[in-house]
Amino acid sequence: MATILVCYGTSEGQTETIAERIGDRLTERGHRAPVRNVAENDLDPTGYDAVVIGSSIHMGSHQSSIEGFVRENREALAGRPTGFFQVSLSSATDDPDRRAEAAGYVEDFEDSTAFHPDRVGLFGGALRYSKYGFLKRLLMKQIAKRATGDTDTSRDYEYTDWDEVEAFAEDFAAFVEGRLGEAPPRTE
């Protein structure tokens, strides 16, 4: 069993929900996987065998709490298996330009923080028009027009592919088990 920290930065909660699903999957596989909001906890990666970090994108940038966490803990992160997942509208469609944009966000993040995760997941996020205030709703309508075309503000949209999220968790668990020399869980 490995102890795997699953930490995240979020504004509207979608990254938290995805982090929890990853934590559940790791736990089902026999690992200890606490799920923590980086902005609300003083986290030290040295207490864990491996770390998964998740961040949403707002106005082309990752969560500042995640940028700070990664910069402050660069050495500890470099010394253990790490996974990074990003949540955005750019990963919500099959449009190659949008997909390239999402990949570009990760590249820029790696370049600016010198953090190079072993595994990367790019997940579609959500549009929660019902939760946005007036100005945010207007802004998101503009962003959505370009990204997904979903501009009906009378309803919410979720683009997260939960099978992809689970596959990311399984793949990361297998990677950690391999690195720590652990046997994979037995399947009946």
Ligand X SMILES: Cc1cc2nc3c(=O)[nH]c(=O)nc-3n(C[C@H](O)[C@H](O)[C@H](O)COP(=O)(O)O)c2cc1C
Residues 128-149 as b or e (16 or more Cβ within 10 Å = b): bbeebeeeeeeebbeebeebbe
**Which residue among 31, 51, 56, 165 contacts ligand X (CB under 6 A)?**
56
Binding flag, residue 165, ligand X (CB under 6 A): no
**In a 3-state reduction of DSSP, which class is residue 123?**
strand
**Which residue among 2, 5, 6, 15 contacts ligand X (CB under 6 A)?**
15
Binding flag, residue 148, ligand X (CB under 6 A): no
Binding flag, residue 11, ligand X (CB under 6 A): yes
Q: Up-side HSE of residue 124: CA atoms within 13 Å toward CB?
A: 19
**In a 3-state reduction of DSSP, which class is residue 59?**
coil
CB of 28 to ligand X, least distance (A): 23
Q: How far apart are CA 188 and CA 184, in angstroms?
A: 13
**In a 3-state reduction of DSSP, which class is residue 122?**
strand
Binding flag, residue 10, ligand X (CB under 6 A): yes
For 107, phi then psi, to 5°, come to -60, -45
Binding flag, residue 14, ligand X (CB under 6 A): yes
CB of 66 to ligand X, least distance (A): 11
Q: Closer CB to ligand X, residue 116 or residue 146?
A: 146
The residue among 15, 14, 49, 41 whose CA lies nearest residue 173 is: 49
CB of 117 to ligand X, least distance (A): 18
The residue among 94, 96, 70 whose CA lies nearest residue 84 is: 70
Binding flag, residue 86, ligand X (CB under 6 A): no
Q: Closer CB to ligand X, residue 57 or residue 77?
A: 57
Q: Would you give the binding string for ligand X spanning residues 89-108, x where CB under 6 A is met? A: xx------------------
Q: Closer CB to ligand X, residue 13 or residue 178?
A: 13
Contact 89, 124 (CB under 8 A): yes
CB of 61 to ligand X, least distance (A): 8
Contact 176, 4 (CB under 8 A): yes
Question: Which residue ranges make up the site for ligand X (CB under 6 A)?
Answer: 10-15, 56-60, 87-90, 125-127, 136, 139-140, 143, 147
